[in-house]
Amino acid sequence: MARVIFNRKISSDYYRMRILCPEIASRAKPGQFIMVRITELLDPLLRRPFGIHRLCHERDKHTDNNSPSCIEILYKIVGKGTIVLSEKKKGEGIDLMGPLGNGFYLEQNIETAVIVAGGIGVAPLFSLAQVLKGVKGKNTSRDKLTIFIGGENRKDILCLNDFKKIGARVVVSTIDGSLGTKGLVTDLLVNFLRKHSPLETKNLKLFGCGPLPMLRTLSEIAFYKNIPCQVSLESRMACGVGACQGCAVPTEINKEGDRVVLYQRACKEGPVFDSTIIFWDYKSILLKV
Ligand X SMILES: Cc1cc2nc3c(=O)[nH]c(=O)nc-3n(C[C@H](O)[C@H](O)[C@H](O)COP(=O)(O)OP(=O)(O)OC[C@H]3O[C@@H](n4cnc5c(N)ncnc54)[C@H](O)[C@@H]3O)c2cc1C
Per CB under 6 A, which of residues 242..261 are in contact with ligand FMN?
244, 246
CB of 260 to ligand FMN, least distance (A): 22
N- to C-terminal Cα distance for the chain?
31
Q: Interface with ligand FES includes 233 (CB under 6 A)?
A: no
Q: Does residue 258 interact with another protein by CB under 8 A?
A: no
Buried residues in 35-60 as b, exposed as e (16+ CB within 10 A): bbebeeeeebebbbbbbbbbbbbeee
The strand pair at 14-20 and 70-76 is best described as antiparallel
What distance in Å separates the CA atoms of residue 177 and residue 173, rounded to the nearest whole number? 7
User: Does residue number 235 form part of the binding site for ligand X (CB under 6 A)?
Assistant: yes
Question: Residue 35 gets which letter from DSSP?
Answer: E
Exactly one of 21, 113, 116, 120 binds ligand X (CB under 6 A); that residue is: 120
Q: Which stretch binds ligand FES (CB under 6 A): 77-85, 88-96, 182-190, 231-239?
A: 231-239
At closest approach, how far in Å is the CB of 15 from another protein?
A: 21
Contacts with another protein by CB under 8 A: the residue count is 34
Instruction: State the binding string over 41-60 for ligand X (x if CB under 6 A, else -).
Output: ---x-x-xxxx-x-------
- Supply the minimum distance, in Å, between the C-beta of residue 119 and ligand X: 9
Bridge partners (DSSP) listed for residue 271: 102
**Identity of the residue, 4 or 97, whose beta carbon is nearer to another protein in the bound complex:** 97
Give the one entry of another protein, ligand X, ligand FES, none that residue 75 binds, where binding means its C-beta sits below a cut-off of 5 to 8 angstroms depending on kind.
ligand X
DSSP state of 244: S
The answer to whether the CB of 26 falls within 8 A of the CB of 69 is yes
- Residue 98's nearest CA partner among 53, 159, 158, 41 is 53
56-115: which residues touch another protein (CB under 8 A)?
97
- For ligand FES, how many residues bind (rule: CB under 6 A)? 12
206 forms beta bridges with: 114, 229
Q: Where would I find the H helices in the chain? A: 22-25, 80-86, 123-136, 160-165, 185-195, 212-225, 283-288
Rounded CA gap, 120 and 87, in Å? 19
- Please select the residue that binds ligand X; options are 76, 155, 216, 268, rule is CB under 6 A: 76
Q: Write out the residues near another protein by the rule CB under 8 A.
A: 37, 42-47, 97, 235-250, 261-263, 268, 282, 284-285, 287-289
Q: Write out the residues near ligand FES by the rule CB under 6 A.
A: 237-240, 242-247, 265, 267
Q: Write out the residues near ligand FMN by the rule CB under 6 A.
A: 244, 246
